[in-house]
Structure 1
Amino acid sequence: MPGNKSELKSLRATKYTSSLRRSGGIDRLRGSSYRAGLRLLDLLDRTRGREHRFLPPRRYRRFIGNGDFLKVGREITAYMRDELGMGPSHDVLDAGCGAGRVAIPLTDVLTEGSYLGFDIVPHAIEWCSSTIGARHPNFRFEHVDIRQEIYNPEGRLSASDVRFPAEDSSFDIAALVGLISHLMPEEMDNYLAESARVLRAGGRCFATAYLVDDKVAENISRGNTAFSFTHDHGNYFVHSKEEPTYAIAYRLEHIQAVAARYDLRMCQEPRLGTWGVSTRRPASMDLLVLERA
């Protein structure tokens, strides 16, 4: 998540590994150089040997987020197991699955259940299908061509009305990891509605987000947060007015109100991260669990 202009510039480089957007000559040259550098690092990784057989190449995991790819995935999976009661026979939907950060550790857990991951970046889905799905038939991956200014600017579908590629009441857990922080209000509304639709009664929606209460809002205004949100829109804050979906923080009560419209209720207090109470980095996001009535 960007905190200043240099980080915003760095984040923009994700378009070189996440999409095939049309661009000018200079941008194409930068993209080619960037991808070439990642391929060299991938070659070095292969020479040294990878830590895990499913660890994707750097050019596929560059756009996923900060932190150790495998470690973060294991931590998320442990939380789902310990706090949500996820077991071997559960069915899990992973919206915005990327290059399999959560799917990889879940292969050791979901031995009897099923997994469906979808994402807007086609080559990430291709890699997951050919590498993870090929070895675990109960793991399925789908590309959904949603338009997003960073990761898929030429997508045909809108996040505000897209339908998840899943049947009604077919999952026990819906994971929205690293998504709400990139969704505008009408898009976030739809993603919660769709999560409720695909969940069984008693199923849970697990999400990471930047949650704002009065204390955090005061910290934001004073510049006392790890990440800066410079534009206050009442129920939500954005980091960049020009490119708002780079990072969005929401008032907790607004998310609760939206969720309630779709029979989702907060079943436990959020596990608060460190981003909103300190300028220290690295900083963690907040964790939110909503249960389907």
Structure 2
Amino acid sequence: MNRYSTFLESSRPTRLARLALKVADGYISLRHPRQPWPPLTMMYEGPSSRWVYHRNGLAYLDHLKELAGLTPASRIFDIGCGLGRKTWPLAGYLETGEYLGVDPREEAVEWCRRSLSSRDRKLKFRHIDVQNGYYAPNGSHDAAAITLPADDDRYDIVMANSVFTHMLPGEIANYLGECSRILAPGGRLLCTFFMSPDSPAALGPISASPRYTFPYERDGYRVQHDNCDEHVVNYRESDVREMCDSAGIRLLDIKWGSWRGNARYLDFQDIVLGEKP
């Protein structure tokens, strides 16, 4: 991820960035005329932009290959598939593998079925009726108690991108337990958080102001917005490590994100890589 991309992908784009995105969107549409694009009005994961949608998908494909060992034979479970931002590069990629994405937004799941499953039958999507104060305030089921729709020990990779950044401690603990249950032994968990490191020195040099400051303290976490805890949530590294350990997931690595202004990073959010022993 470079500075130019970070500038364009900001969740609070400047007027210049919005103009640049319009140009980039036009270019990417002409370059990839056959790619299915969600309507801009439906996009809720980052900026409403085709260029960002396309670039994020390719970047996450690289993460899956390099960090989680993705191959055409991989079985993948995607928590929070959204509008297929991380899924579309998998169309035609999987051979003997499989993919199941779940999301609390039914309209997003329906779009993915129409636009992505129709192109590759190995890509399947399912709506989960779970409550979340930010994404699904009218959901019926408690995220702290829900069982994910997957068999035990089935998946080689479970990913949860920008999911735990919108969840509370009891909910994350349940989801991590579910990730451990459905992962095959040796399977990888690739998920993201906003975390405060145990040692600030781990971040390296800081070159910009942080995107979020998390000014409001709660019991075991901090939030950016006082009127909705799940909008953006921050956890201590030590607490994330403890939650992973309690769920039976061995934390392998942390790739610190650019959101706090550090000069060296792999992506915007903090990537946590875990493994089921």
Please classify the TM superposition score into its range, dividing by the shorter chain length. Answer: 0.7 to 0.9
Q: Deviations over 1:187-245 (max 9, x none)?
A: 1111101111110000011011112124559x9xxx95221201233642111222110
How far apart, in 2, do the equivalents of 1:132 and 1:224 lie? Answer: 38
Name the SS for the 2:260 alignment partner: coil
Q: Which residue of 2 aligns with 1:100?
A: 84
How far apart, in 1, do the equivalents of 2:134 and 2:250 lie? Answer: 31
Give, in angstroms, the shift of residue 53 of structure 1.
1.9
Q: Does 1:261 align with 2:246?
A: yes
User: Does structure 2 retain, via aligned residues, the 8 Å contact 1:226–1:278?
Assistant: no
Q: Deviations over 1:120-167 (max 9, x none)?
A: 111110111111112211111000111122322211111111111111
Give, in angstroms, the shift of residue 250 of structure 1.
1.0
Q: Which residue of 2 aligns with 1:190?
A: 174
Give, in angstroms, the shift of residue 54 of structure 1.
2.2
User: Does structure 1 retain, via aligned residues, the 8 Å contact 2:133–2:229?
Assistant: no
List aligned pairs for 1:99-248, cutoff 5 A: 99-214=83-198, 224-233=209-218, 235-248=220-233
Distance 1:199 1:141, change over 3 A: same
How far apart, in 2, do the equivalents of 1:237 and 1:125 lie? Answer: 30
Name the SS for the 2:180 alignment partner: helix
Distance 1:71 1:193, change over 3 A: same
Give, in angstroms, the shift of residue 51 of structure 1.
4.6
How far apart, in 2, do the equivalents of 1:114 and 1:76 lie? Answer: 17
The one-letter amino acid of 2:36's match is F
User: Does structure 1 retain, via aligned residues, the 8 Å contact 2:61–2:86?
Assistant: yes
Name the SS for the 1:173 alignment partner: strand
How far apart, in 2, do the equivalents of 1:97 and 1:157 lie? Answer: 18
User: Does structure 2 retain, via aligned residues, the 8 Å contact 1:216–1:277?
Assistant: no
How far apart, in 2, do the equivalents of 1:215 and 1:89 lie? Answer: 38
Name the SS for the 1:73 alignment partner: helix
Q: Does 1:90 align with 2:71?
A: no
Name the SS for the 1:78 alignment partner: helix
Q: Does 1:57 align with 2:61?
A: no
The unaligned stretches of length 5 or more in structure 1 are 1-6, 11-40
How far apart, in 2, do the equivalents of 1:216 and 1:235 lie? Answer: 19
Give the structure-2-normalised TM-score. Answer: 0.80
**What percentage of aligned pairs have identical amino acids?**
26
How far apart, in 2, do the equivalents of 1:275 and 1:78 lie? Answer: 20
How far apart, in 2, do the equivalents of 1:207 and 1:200 lie? Answer: 16
How far apart, in 1, do the equivalents of 2:149 and 2:225 lie? Answer: 31
Aligned length: 243
Q: Which residue of 2 aligns with 1:251?
A: 236
User: Does structure 2 retain, via aligned residues, the 8 Å contact 1:174–1:205?
Assistant: yes
Give the structure-1-normalised TM-score. Answer: 0.76
Name the SS for the 1:116 alignment partner: strand
Tell me whether 226-235 or 150-159 shows the greater mean CA deviation. Answer: 226-235
The unaligned stretches of length 5 or more in structure 2 are 1-10, 14-21
State the Cα RMSD in Å: 2.7
Name the SS for the 2:255 alignment partner: coil
Q: Which residue of 1 aligns with 2:5?
A: none
User: Does structure 2 retain, via aligned residues, the 8 Å contact 1:216–1:276?
Assistant: no
